[in-house]
C-alpha cells in the first residue's frame, strides 16, 4: 500500500493513550513525527486526535477517553481514533503485525456452525459490528470473528441464548464509547445473570462493578475455563481491494420500526409465519423497501416457499440494483428451481457490481462446474481462493483446482 503524502498530516497534534499492539508508544510517536505530526499530552484544548492503543481492554479504554476528552470529541473539537484506524489513515497498514481477512455473514455462519440468521441477529443487536458495508453486504474482520466465536461458544456451553444475548446488549449500552465491547472480556454466568470480567472486577448488566473475590480460588465457575472448542486457524490477509475505497462503517444499531422489530422478535422465537405477516403489514402501510423485501425473501425461503422467495429477491433487486447479497441469494434460489442459466446471470450480476464478493465466486464456480464450463469455473475457483484462502470452503476449492491440473 503506498504511503500517504506526509504534508497531509503535518502539524496534526496527536495524543497516544494506552497500550499499543503493533509497537510501543515511543515507536508509534517516532512514526508520527516522521509525518510531521506533533505528539502531545492528552490536553483536549491542544490536540487534534486521540489515538487509543489496540491492546487496551474495553473497560480501560472507556476510562481513558472519559471526561474532557469525551466532551471535546462529542463537540467535534478532537477526533478519537483506534490504533488500527491510525495506521490505515496514514497508509501504513503494513506496520501492524496483523493483516486482516474479511468475512461475509454467510462465511462467518459456516465458520462458526450457526445459521446466517443468528449472525444477522448478533449484528442487529450490536454484538458484532461490520468493519465495512459495501452494496449492503457486511464484512467482519478478525476481531469480530473472535467475538462471534466467543458468543457461539458460550451458547454451545448450555447457556440460554436469550439470556446471554440480552444481557450482553445491556452491557454494550453500559459501555457506549468503546468500539469492541466484548473483546478481551471474560464471561461469568450465575444462574440467570451474566457478568463480564474486565480488569480486577465484574460488571453487571446495570453497570454495577463487583469485586471478583473468587478469581484466584475458583476458576472452574467461568465458562472461559472450559476446554476450548477447536476452531480452524484464521490466517491474516489484506482486505479486498474495493474496501480501501471506503471509510469505516461503525455506526451503532438504529432504532427499528415497531412492526419490523416485532417481525425480528417473531423470527428470533422461530415463528417465521408471524414474522412474515408483520413484514407484509409494514409494507402494506409504507410500501415495499429493499431491505424489508430481502428479509421477507429470507423468511419465505425458510418456510419452504421457494417460489415466493424468488419473487421477493427479484423485487429487492428491482428496488435496489446494487443489493449484491440479494443477487447472490437469488442465484442460489434459481439453482434450486432448476433455472441454471438465470442463476449464472444472477451471480455474474453480483460480481459485476462487486468483484471481491468471494461467496458469489464460490457459488458461481460450483454452478459452472455443474454446467461443464470448466475453464470459466477454474477462474472463479482461483479468484475465490485469492479472496478467501481461509474460508470454510477453501479446501473444496483447492481440491477442485487440483483435479483440473491432473
Average pLDDT, stretch 39-49?
90
pLDDT at residue 289, rounded to an integer: 93
Domain boundary among 95, 124, 158: 95
Residues 78 and 122 in one domain: no
Residues 261 and 393 in one domain: yes
Asked whether residue 208 is domain-assigned, the answer is no
Asked whether residue 201 is domain-assigned, the answer is no
Residues 91 and 111 in one domain: no
Asked whether residue 361 is domain-assigned, the answer is yes
Asked whether residue 231 is domain-assigned, the answer is no
- C-alpha 22/C-alpha 27 separation (Å) is 9
Residues 149 and 291 in one domain: no
Asked whether residue 210 is domain-assigned, the answer is no
User: Is the model's pLDDT at 278 over the cut of 90?
Assistant: yes
Asked whether residue 302 is domain-assigned, the answer is yes
Q: Are 64 and 51 in contact (CB under 8 A)?
A: no
pLDDT at residue 15, rounded to an integer: 92
Q: What is the pLDDT of residues 283-292, one digit of tens each?
A: 999 999 999 9
Number of folded domains in the chain? 3
Asked whether residue 268 is domain-assigned, the answer is yes
Q: Are 224 and 196 in contact (CB under 8 A)?
A: no
Residues 287 and 381 in one domain: yes
In DSSP terms, 79 is beta-bridged to 49
- C-alpha 175/C-alpha 70 separation (Å) is 13
Q: Which region, left, alpha or beta, applies to residue 391 given φ > 0 means left and ψ of -120 to 50 means alpha?
A: beta
Residues 65 and 110 in one domain: no
Residues 297 and 382 in one domain: yes
User: If you compute the radius of gyration of the chain from its CA atoms, what whole number of angstroms results?
Assistant: 23
116-152 burial, b if ≥16 CB within 10 A, otherwise e?
bbbbbbbbbbbbbbbbbebbebbbbbbbbbbbbbbbb
pLDDT at residue 347, rounded to an integer: 95
Asked whether residue 196 is domain-assigned, the answer is no
Residues 311 and 331 in one domain: yes
- DSSP E strands, 192-311: 193-198, 201-203, 209-211
Q: What is the pLDDT of residues 182-228, one digit of tens each?
A: 554 455 545 455 555 544 455 554 545 554 444 333 333 233 333 33
Residues 394 and 265 in one domain: yes
For residue 319, name the pLDDT band (cuts at 50, 70, 90): very high
Q: Are 50 and 86 in contact (CB under 8 A)?
A: no
Residues 141 and 269 in one domain: no
Alpha helices of 35-115 — where are they, by DSSP H?
58-64, 68-74, 83-90, 105-112
Q: Are 340 and 373 in contact (CB under 8 A)?
A: no
Domain boundary among 187, 210, 228: 187
Residues 112 and 53 in one domain: no
End-to-end CA distance of the chain: 36
Chain centre distance of CA 73:
25
Domain boundary among 95, 127, 146: 95
Residues 172 and 77 in one domain: no
Task: Report the CATH number that the domain containing residue 69 is assigned in CATH.
Answer: 3.40.50.10190
pLDDT at residue 249, rounded to an integer: 39
Task: Report the CATH number that the domain containing residue 284 is assigned in CATH.
Answer: 1.25.40.10
pLDDT at residue 197, rounded to an integer: 53
Provide the domain limits for residue 124: 105-187
Average pLDDT, stretch 357-361?
92
Task: Report the CATH number that the domain containing residue 116 is assigned in CATH.
Answer: 1.10.1660.10
Q: What is the pLDDT of residues 124-138, one digit of tens each?
A: 877 788 888 877 888
Amino acid at each position: 500500500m503506498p504511503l500517504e503524502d506526509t504534508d497531509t498530516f503535518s502539524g496534526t497534534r496527536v495524543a497516544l493513550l494506552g497500550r499499543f499492539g503493533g509497537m510501543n508508544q515511543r515507536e508509534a510517536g517516532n512514526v508520527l513525527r516522521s509525518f510531521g505530526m506533533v505528539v502531545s499530552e492528552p490536553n483536549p484544548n491542544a490536540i487534534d486526535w486521540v489515538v487509543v492503543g489496540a491492546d487496551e481492554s474495553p473497560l480501560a479504554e472507556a476510562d481513558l477517553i472519559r471526561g474532557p476528552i469525551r466532551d471535546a470529541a462529542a463537540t467535534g473539537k478532537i477526533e478519537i481514533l483506534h490504533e488500527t484506524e491510525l495506521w490505515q489513515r496514514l497508509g501504513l497498514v503494513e506496520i501492524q503485525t496483523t493483516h486482516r481477512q474479511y468475512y461475509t455473514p454467510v462465511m462467518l455462519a459456516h465458520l462458526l456452525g450457526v445459521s446466517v440468521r443468528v449472525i444477522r441477529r448478533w449484528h442487529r443487536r450490536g454484538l458484532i459490528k461490520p468493519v465495512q458495508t459495501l452494496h449492503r453486504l457486511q464484512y467482519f474482520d478478525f476481531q469480530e470473528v473472535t467475538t462471534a466465536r466467543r458468543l457461539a461458544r458460550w451458547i454451545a456451553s448450555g447457556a440460554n441464548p436469550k439470556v446471554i444475548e440480552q444481557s450482553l446488549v445491556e452491557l454494550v449500552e453500559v459501555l457506549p464509547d468503546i468500539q469492541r465491547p466484548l473483546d478481551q472480556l471474560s464471561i461469568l454466568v450465575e444462574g440467570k445473570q451474566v457478568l463480564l470480567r474486565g480488569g480486577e472486577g465484574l460488571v453487571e448488566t446495570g453497570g454495577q462493578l463487583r469485586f471478583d473475590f473468587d478469581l484466584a480460588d475458583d476458576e472452574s465457575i467461568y465458562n472461559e475455563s472450559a476446554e476450548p472448542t477447536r476452531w480452524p486457524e484464521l490466517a491474516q490477509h489484506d482486505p479486498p481491494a474495493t474496501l480501501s475505497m471506503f471509510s469505516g462503517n461503525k455506526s451503532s444499531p438504529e432504532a427499528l420500526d415497531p412492526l419490523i422489530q416485532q417481525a425480528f422478535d417473531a423470527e428470533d422465537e422461530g415463528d417465521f409465519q408471524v414474522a412474515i405477516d408483520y413484514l407484509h403489514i409494514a409494507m402494506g402501510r409504507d410500501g415495499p423497501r429493499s431491505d424489508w423485501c430481502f428479509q421477507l425473501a429470507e423468511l419465505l425461503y425458510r418456510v419452504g416457499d421457494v417460489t415466493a422467495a424468488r419473487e421477493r429477491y427479484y423485487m429487492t433487486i428491482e428496488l435496489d440494483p446494487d443489493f449484491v447479497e440479494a443477487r447472490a441469494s437469488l442465484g442460489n434460489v434459481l439453482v434450486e428451481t432448476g433455472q441454471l442459466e438465470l442463476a449464472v446471470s444472477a451471480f455474474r450480476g453480483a460480481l459485476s457490481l462487486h468483484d471481491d464478493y468471494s461467496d458469489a465466486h464460490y457459488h458461481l464456480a460450483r454452478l459452472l462446474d455443474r454446467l461443464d464450463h470448466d475453464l470459466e469455473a477454474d477462474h472463479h475457483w482461483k479468484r475465490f481462493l485469492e479472496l478467501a484462502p481461509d474460508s470454510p470452503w477453501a479446501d473444496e476449492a483447492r481440491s477442485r483446482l487440483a483435479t483440473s491440473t491432473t
